Structure 1
């Protein structure tokens, strides 16, 4: 498991802005105390470049966070990294960092990924809106 994020570390969060569910979650994080330490990058935008070690397509398929040292963490560990810098979410980060918990969270996240399009459509019907329309039909 990667070392915990320092509470004052700046993270880059890659997200799919064409997904209403993803956008709703990111908008929630943006409103949190400590969000100034999160740099949000919508990888569904034309010309998005998350770096040489991460394609926009891969960044849209799975949640990725870049640490200040350049290291990528993804999936459940990406969420834990975000929670570590948001004061109101540190309790979740502590739980998510307990031995064995990251593995269980990752299994849950992998089970979630195939149903994300359906949940995103439901979120859209409930009023969630994407940050942008990618035109990909997702």
Structure 2
């Protein structure tokens, strides 16, 4: 699903990543992405502690905590596997694979895997 929200600012030609910083696995994964070349151009929003306004008008905290969301430079909001692919486009170490993963079939497989992870993730989430 894609929605647009011009109220959430995104660095030009980059994206904003909304993640659950209270999830230890999510935090470690995001920290890895932040250290990669290109990570400094991405706006990183920890949805577990940010101000509600930082989420924009088309994303609420429960949705942001439930799964990864990314807002592209145009303000379009994507979630799930599509959000990972959008984020990876901005990280040169991973951008090479995004053309292979941007098709409907690959995204469907990735979403199945991600949805499985989301079912077991509460076992690791901080109280």
If the TM-score is normalised by the length of the shorter chain, which range does it land in? 0.7 to 0.9
Say which SS state the counterpart of residue 97 (structure 2) adopts: helix
Report the Cα offset of residue 73 of structure 1.
0.8
Deviations 1:16-61 (A, max 9, x none): 1111111101100010001122100011015333011110111000
Say which SS state the counterpart of residue 69 (structure 1) adopts: coil
- Structure exhibiting the larger radius of gyration computed from Cα positions: 1
Check if 1:93 corresponds to 2:98.
yes
CA RMSD of the aligned region, Å? 2.0
Runs of 4+ in 1 over 3 A off after TM superposition: none
Report the Cα offset of residue 97 of structure 1.
1.5
TM-score by length of 1: 0.77
Say which SS state the counterpart of residue 85 (structure 1) adopts: coil
**Are the equivalent residues in 2 in contact too, given 1:42–1:48 (CA < 8 A)?**
no
- Cα distance, 1:29–1:46 mapped onto 2, change above 3 Å: closer
Partner residue, 2:9: none
Give unpaired runs (5+ residues) of structure 2. 3-11
Equivalent residue runs for 1:60-99 within 5 Å:
60-99=65-104
Check if 1:15 corresponds to 2:22.
no
- Cα distance, 1:61–1:99 mapped onto 2, change above 3 Å: closer
Q: Distance in 2 between matches of 1:82 and 1:64?
A: 9
